[in-house]
Each structure stands twice: as C-alpha cells, then as structure tokens.
Amino acid sequence: MITKLRFKQRIEETSRKRKTDVVLALDFPYHDPKNRDALFSKAQTVLDAVSQYVCAVKFNHHLILPLGTFDGVQTLVNRAHDKGLQAIVDCKANDIGNTNQIIGEYYFAAGFDALIANPFVGWEEGLKPIFNVAHKQDRGVILLTYMSHKGAVEGYGQTIINPQTESRIAQYVAFAKKALRWKADGAVVGATMPEKIGEIHDVLGEDVPIYSPGVGAQGGKADDARRAGARFLIVGREITQAQNPAETARRLSVMETT
C-alpha cells in the first residue's frame, strides 16, 4: 500500500534532496496589466533560473491579480511542480469559515500545495473548515504568527488576556500555541525579528516548522533567522530583482552554510 505524503513531508523531502531551505517568493513590481505577457515571461524566467536552489515557490497578489489564478498563475504552478517544487499561495485567508473553505477549494484546485492563513479569525467557523479541506487533500496550512514589517507589533505583538485563565500573554505566543493545537503545517515569523523566531521556536519545537520572510530587502539576515530556529527562508525581492537571480539564490541556499 502506497501512502501519500502530506505537504509538510513533501517540502521537507524536497529541501533535503536539494540541500536548500529557500522558498522563492515570486514577487515583482507593478506591471501595466495590458502587458501581462511580459510579467509572465519574467516570472517564468526567474523560476527556471533558480529552481535548483529552492525547495518551493510562494505566490502572492503580485502575480495572482494580473495573471489570474486559473490562467498564468496555474501555468507557473504546474511549471514549479514539473521542476519538483512545492507551490504555496500567500492568500492570508482571513474570513468566516464558509468563505475560507471556498478560498481553499479554489486554490487547491489551481494546484497549490499549501496556503497561508491568518489565525486572528479563530478556529470554530473560522479556520477549521480550511484545515479540513487542506488535510483531506494532503495540502498544508501555514499560520501567520509574526509578520516581517515594523507595524506587525501593533497586532501580532500586542499583549492579550486569556479569557479562560485571565492570564496575560503575547499575541504571537498565543498564535504559536494555536499552531500546535490546530496541527498547522508551518508558522510564518519574520526574519527581521530573530528574537521572536527564537521565542516562537521554543513553543513549537520541531513539530511546526518556521517560515521566515523578510531576508534581504526588508533587512532580515538569513543566518540570524536560521540560528534562531527558522526552518525555511522565504526570499522575494532579494532574488527576483537581482542582476543574477540564480547566483543570489545559490548564495542564500543552505548549501552555503553547511
């Protein structure tokens, strides 16, 4: 009997085989929507150039809005799969349960292996339906736990009061504990906040891998994030806007630090 691998296992296997922990964020500046072909061509060129140095590709609104989920983006997702890469959609699902379920169903139908969701909406009639859809299809759900921009402190960094125990706790610590309880496939913690990575890793251990965006363009340092406990680095502009994307991806890959 052949057992299908879940997303969490698939990306770990790809990372191990390729000896890299880099997830390519395939993000580009605004392009005139009338010239979508040029944007698609640029995205495909970068993906092809760096594919051997990354273990997954993350898609955000930068491509989904101009190229379309079931048009250019699905073609790029299929191309990523052809190259043995996992595909993650950064949709930051953050709605009522029924809407979240439909969001997940559409993105998984487009071929994505995992999506990123916001735990602020809670579990019951919030993220539970999207987890159910994902895990039924061997896909993954990665939770936003602490974002990489300065304003993240206003939400993810706030102190909250547990309504059951009336104890005070940092919002991001509460989210990390939910990632464990909900059996999330990953947690996003900005590489710009290595101290937060370390604190959240203390909660998650090796059960929920940490994905860290913000390396390079936002000031995060790859090795600082790794030492603090990040399992995967999400890198966008540092690679996509480099003069030599392949060389930049190669330099950032774990092969250069082991």
Q: In this predicted structure, what is the pLDDT of residue 254?
A: 66
Q: Return the SS3 of 218.
A: coil
Residue 74 identity (one-letter amino acid): Q
pLDDT tens digits for 23-46? 999 999 999 988 999 999 999 999
Instruction: Compute φ and ψ for 87, nearest 5 degrees.
Output: -125, 125
**How much of the chain exceeds pLDDT 70, in percent?**
97
Concatenated DSSP letters of 65-105? HHHIIIIIIHHHHHHHHHTT-EEEEEEEE-S-HHHHHHHHH
pLDDT tens digits for 52-88? 999 999 999 999 999 999 999 999 999 999 999 999 9
Q: In this predicted structure, what is the pLDDT of residue 237?
A: 95
Beta 114-117 vs 22-25: how paired, if at all?
unpaired
**How much of the chain exceeds pLDDT 90, in percent?**
87
Q: Can you give the residue ranges of every domain in the chain?
A: 7-256
Q: Return the SS3 of 8.
A: helix
Asked if residue 256 has pLDDT above 50, the reply is no
Rg (CA), the chain: 18
Q: How far is CA 253 from CA 11, 107, 209, 213, 256, in A?
A: 15, 28, 17, 14, 6
What are the structure tokens assigned to 83, written together? 């190259």
* Local confidence band at 19 (pLDDT 50, 70, 90 cut-offs): very high
Residue 93 identity (one-letter amino acid): A
CATH of domain 7-256: 3.20.20.70
Residue pair 39/62 in contact (Cβ under 8 Å)? The answer is no
| Residues involved in catalysis | 92
